[in-house]
Amino acid sequence: LPADCGSDVPVQLQSVHRAPVSEAMKATAPLANGSMPMVGLGTWKAEKGVVGAAVERAIHLGYRHIDCAAVYENEKEVGNALKKCLDSGAVQRSDLWITSKLWNTMHRRDHVRQACLRTIEDLQVEYLDLYLIHFPIAMQFVDPEEHKPAGPVLDGDGRAILEKVSIRETWEAMEELVKEGLVKNIGANF
């Protein structure tokens, strides 16, 4: 492997050799502010200690879309891999498309920006290309600093405690992220 990102990839990922980027990898979908690569690397359920190397290897192989979410609890590791690839010059930030998602416990207007800033910090980027509402369900706020994982607060019957937050409130807060330049595109994952 070259000395750029991907040089310390675990053995199980090293057997994949760099191949010419296929036409499918080049396909994009136009959005309001940019074109999203239609093929991307998802980081959900990625094993801790391996997801960073997988991201590095994927970028080395030509992936340019990395799909993340705060609730996956691996954005710091993904961010370390992104930083390594960016710092090495393997890719420029403008070559990548970074998607993340707002978790259900952060739907209130005053929590949306906080959640986005945390994701940007963890991913070690200046902005997100796409920020999605993960699910259209507002759950009781959980401070991610105090509760890991940031899953729902449950009632006595084991059901998530919901909050009365409209999708409109959440959406308007996300629109502010675009105006502020923290996010280029917003959407919903439903």
Q: What's the helix, strand, coil split of the chain in %, to 5?
A: 35, 20, 45
Q: Of 176, 170, 131, which is closest to residue 34 (Cα–Cα)?
A: 131
Burial class (CB in 10 A: 0-12, 13-18, 19+), 113: middle
Residue 162 DSSP label: B
Question: Which are the catalytic amino acids?
Answer: 72
Strand order in the sheet with 128-133: 41-42, 65-67, 97-102, 128-133, 183-188
Give, as one character, the DSSP assignment of residue 140: -
Nearest CA among 23, 33, 44, 26 for reference residue 189: 44
DSSP SS3 for 184: strand
